[in-house]
Amino acid sequence: MAADRLIVNTDSRESVSLNGTWHYILDPYETGFYNYRYKERSEGDPEAYWNRPVTKHRSERREHGYRAPYTLEVPGDWNSQDDTFTYYEGTVWYQRDFDRPQLGKNQRVFLYFGAVNYEAHVYLNGKKLGMHKGGFTPFNFEVPRDLLKEKDNFLVVKVDNKRHPDEIPTINTDWWNYGGITRDIKLVMTPDNFIQQYEIELDPAQDILTAKQENRFRISGNVTLDKAASSGAVTLAIPELGVEQRYPVTGSRLEFDLELEDLQLWSPKTPKLYNVSLTYNSEELADNIGFRKIETSGKKILLNGEPVFLRGIAIHEEIPQGVRRAHSEADAEQLLGWAKDLNANMVRLAHYPHNEQMTRLADKMGLLVWSEIPVYWTIDFGNDAVLDKAKAQLKEMIARDHNRASIVIWSVGNETPVSPVRTGFMKSLIDTARSLDDSRLISAALEVHYNPETNRVDDPLGAYTDIVSVNEYLGWYGGTPDMCRTANWEVAYDKPLFISETGAGAKSGFHADRETRWSEEYQQWYYEEQIKMLKRMPDNYSGVAPWILADFRSPKRNHPLYQQGWNRKGLIDEQGHKKKAFDVLKAYYGEIEKDADQ
Ligand code: GCU
């Protein structure tokens, strides 16, 4: 059973958190799932790990159980919680009991996961609720009321983070494959019929400059109910703008638009959010929404009708000091706070959708966001089932964050090798993204082939994206930083150019002359030469997001002195200390901001 349609904005709904200390069974051979003939166990099989082991008589044989000290914290990856798990890839069974919450007569109950890496099979009281794949997007299953007991409901989640060639991401990534129930889990209670998803935004079709001149702004939106209704109404309220609008519902989808005056537009400088609420069937959903327009015009990226330069930085969803996945608001404050210290106005959340705390905080802090699905490197492009998996993650990513003003770019992938099959696959993703959301820019991080004279950006996929984004490492993977002095760039498309990655490694605290790799001085030199080159880029150069904010764990980085399982391209080390190059980039961004203000 696949997951139900996603319920958005669960923070604003009646819910009970199931976070906390869970029991676990480490099961590399999946003994709890398959019998010794490696056949899937039947539902009632007492040896299945989704069934509570009950011993009625002392002679009975039971070979599994859930008890201390075998516990893990949720949310959280398992790798950072116990040395046993540092490198573990496989199945872990999570279990906890919970009591039935107080429920109204027609109330429904859903089990909601912020994310589980990678494959989750969910069971309650021995019954399977469903299965979900994808390590970085939310999902939910309805809990049949008659399955719920008043006390000690036996909840089990089989989590498997093994990598496979036909999954998304595939087997090869330059990040740590943290496993577990990595984000919040909760019971969400709803009325019998309820608002499942909604979209509220500045109507992307309107000319924003005219709207500003005439002080008349059109807001458009839609509401999707869980099921068709023949009566009742949805009320939209934006108190600060004097909006209280009642819309009768017939069917399961409602569309609306309204004209407003004196709307303050959202931007990094003025990250204005409005309290917006939608009420239906006694459930009131409250949200904080910013209104802004993002578009391209020829070679420029326009925010609210004005050219904007993306002063970006790439971020992995990791807290280096804890060697763990980030998941909380405090984690987001640390990472986005560092980006602000850098004078960035944009963050590339790589290479997968980060937790909702990050995107909601980016709304508040005024950081533009690039959000991406992990179609990373060499995916099985010729496999339709793989395309469906990528599309499922794209849908979940866009559904969860459609109302986040900060998100301006959806990326459908990173450094995928050029071939007709690949380009077809990626174009199909781009088309899907556009059909789901025509209000944002669609892109993908392309590769460039270095050339001593002119580096040419002509990946065929660039024909379908709104901005041409390219990763370049001239001076790290190609030669030394002085090569930037003679490098020229050519882009085959009259579209904005965005450098979605550039960076060099440095072991924090290792100091030497600038030509010594891994020294902070080499990284500093790299940024100095890159910035000089970036200042000579073609006139469609519209932004950059260097790789990367902080050192991060990678099983591919094994230099015994300088890496020790860390990708060292961070501008901040794993203790949180800034490296020399941090200030080089910060100064560059300061210059750009000053020029923009003039
Ligand atoms: C690649 C890739 C990143 C990787 C980086 C690096 O471009 O997109 O995921 O970490 O380069 O090599 O450090």
Q: What is the pLDDT of residue 453?
A: 78
CA-proximal residue: ligand 1, atom 7 (nearest): 471
The end-to-end CA distance of the chain, in Å, is 57
Question: For position 189, what pLDDT does the model report?
Answer: 98
For residues 343 and 325, the answer to whether their CB atoms sit within 8 Å is no
Q: Is 469 in the pocket of ligand 1 (CB under 6 A)?
A: no
Instruction: Tell me the mean pLDDT in the region 594-598.
Output: 83
Between the CA of 399 and the centroid of ligand 1 the distance, in Å, is 27
Whether the CB of 567 sits within 6 Å of ligand 1: yes
248, two tokens: 């009768």
Q: What is the mean pLDDT of the chain?
A: 97
Q: What is the pLDDT of residue 231?
A: 87
- Distance (Å) from CA 174 to ligand 1 centroid: 6
Alpha-carbon span 201 to 75, nearest angstrom: 31
| 3-class DSSP string for 287-313 | EEECCCCEEEECCEEEECCEECCEEEE
Question: Do residues 340 and 329 lie in contact, with contact meaning Cβ atoms separated by under 8 Å?
Answer: no
Model pLDDT, residue 450: 73
What 3-state DSSP class applies to 542? strand
* pLDDT tens column, 334-362: 999 999 999 999 999 999 999 999 999 99
Task: Indicate whether residue 324 lines ligand 1 (CB < 6 A).
Answer: no
Compute the distance from residue 547 Cα to the ligand 1 centre, in Å: 7
Atom from ligand 1 closest to the CA of residue 569: 13
pLDDT for 598 equals 72
Band of pLDDT at residue 178, cut at 50, 70 and 90: very high
Token pair 């440095």 is at which residue?
A: 506
pLDDT average, residue stretch 572-589: 98
Q: Are 412 and 433 in contact, with CB atoms under 8 Å apart? A: yes
Residue 142 has pLDDT above 90, yes or no: yes
Residues 175, 172: Cα–Cα separation, whole Å: 9
CA gap 593, 331 in Å, rounded = 27
Mean pLDDT (whole number) for 312-330: 98
Task: Tell whether omega for the bond before 496 is within 30 degrees of 0, i.e. cis.
Answer: no
The pLDDT value recorded for residue 4 is 83
Instruction: Report d(CA 158, CA 63) in Å as an integer.
Output: 17
| Residue 235 phi, psi (nearest 5) | -110, 125
331 lines ligand 1 (CB under 6 A): no
Q: Where are the strands (E) in 4-145, listed by range?
A: 14-17, 20-26, 71-74, 91-98, 108-113, 119-124, 127-133, 139-143
Q: Which of 51, 59, 58, 85 is nearest to 71 (CA)?
A: 85
> Is the per-residue pLDDT at 451 higher than 80?
no
Q: In 10 A of CB 358, how many CB atoms?
A: 28
Answer whether 281's CB lies under 8 Å from 193's CB: yes
Stated pTM of the model: 0.97
Q: Give me 167's structure tokens.
A: 């999954």
Atom 4 (ligand 1) nearest CA: 174
Q: Is 569 in the pocket of ligand 1 (CB under 6 A)?
A: yes
| 59 Cβ neighbours under 8 A, 6+ residues apart | none
Please return the burial class of 239, using the count of CB atoms within 10 Å of its CB with bins 0-12, 13-18 and 19+: exposed
- Return the ∠ at Cα 291 (arms to 248 and 405), rounded to 5°: 105
Q: Is the pLDDT of residue 268 over 90?
A: yes
Helices (H) and strands (E) in the chain, counts: 7, 34
Question: How many angstroms does the Cα of residue 414 sit away from the middle of ligand 1?
Answer: 9
**From the CA of 25, how far away is ligand 1's center (Å)?**
34
